[in-house]
Amino acid sequence: MSVEELTTVLPSGPEQPGSLSNSVLIAEDDAMFRKILENWLEHWGYRVVVAEDGAKAWNILQQEGPPQLLILDWIMPGINGMELCRRIREQRNSPYQYILLVTSKDDKQDVVHGLEAGADDYLTKPFDRDELRARLRTGSRILTLQKDLIHARENLRFQATHDALTGIWNRGAIVAMLRRELDRAFRSQGSVAVLMLDLDHFKRINDTHGHLAGDDVLKEAANRVVRSTRSYDLVGRYGGEEFLIVLPGCDSDQLRQAAERIRRTIGDTPMQTLNSSPEVTASIGATVCADNNSAEEVLAVADAALYQAKNSGRDRVAIL
């Protein structure tokens, strides 16, 4: 099919894009054929990025958020389509990029070589416009499935590491992060502060206002703690109404100031629940680790400090 013949089959007007919202990279050195492909894809609702040769296509693919649907011409100057396929697959990118290799080669062995290089599908020039559209739809379906799988995987990962009620780190995750920060502090001769926070008389809140109000208090307490810490501090629900807070790089001089700020954040304003506004206070036990202490040893010290704070009247900070 000549360029003139290709031009005559262009759609007369834009089609409804439907779900075809993927961006597509066209790597094609023939300017007229590249323009025809670009017009087709834009009428079908795709966002199109074009490259005049393989080297420019490779540079585009190194940028942040490159297209996931790729139409690569086999024969191009510099880096050809086969070499581009190999480079893309060697990177093992995530998310996956779907490659449609366009070639004038129709020998079956050439097709095999193209697929082995990493192409997902191929079209032999000259090809039918509707066949191209159908093959791109196949690629879009596969990429949509991939997106759904990635979303499901991230949801599972979040559920495995976060507390279902408050959305902060759960016990397993926060303790694992504590171990990581202790190892890092030991290697760099730095320090880590650890705070164990307990909401005072929490059972009374449940008994007086109901368990739903208690859940609201836990969520609000978690939000207040997160807001009162630095972006790189770590906040997790240790269990029940207890929270574990890890402050990397916090020394003994900064510890009391940080702990008091968190305590005031909890107690200075009543908590808002659906039907009540209970006043809630918190007791905090804190310690700084600068030696090669294990997580278990550090947690034991913080827990002892918390016990001291509660025995001294609650709504206070104790440091050991």
Active site residues: 241
Q: Name the DSSP letter for residue 66.
A: -
Give the span between the Cα atoms of 7 and 139, in whole angstroms.
Answer: 24
* Residue 112: count of CB within 10 angstroms of its CB: 10
User: Nearest-CA neighbor of 278 among 163, 201, 198, 168?
Assistant: 201
Measured between alpha carbons, how far is 203 from 185 in angstroms, rounded to an integer? 37
Contact, 60 vs 99, CB < 8 A?
A: no
Q: How far apart are CA 96 and CA 89, in angstroms?
A: 9
192 contacts 180 by C-beta, under 8 angstroms? no
The DSSP call for residue 169 is B
What single-letter amino acid sits at 174? I
Give the span between the Cα atoms of 121 and 127, in whole angstroms: 13
Q: How far apart are CA 49 and CA 28, in angstroms?
A: 11
- The token pair that represents 77 in the structure block: 């100057």
Determine if the peptide bond prior to 126 is cis (ω within 30°): yes
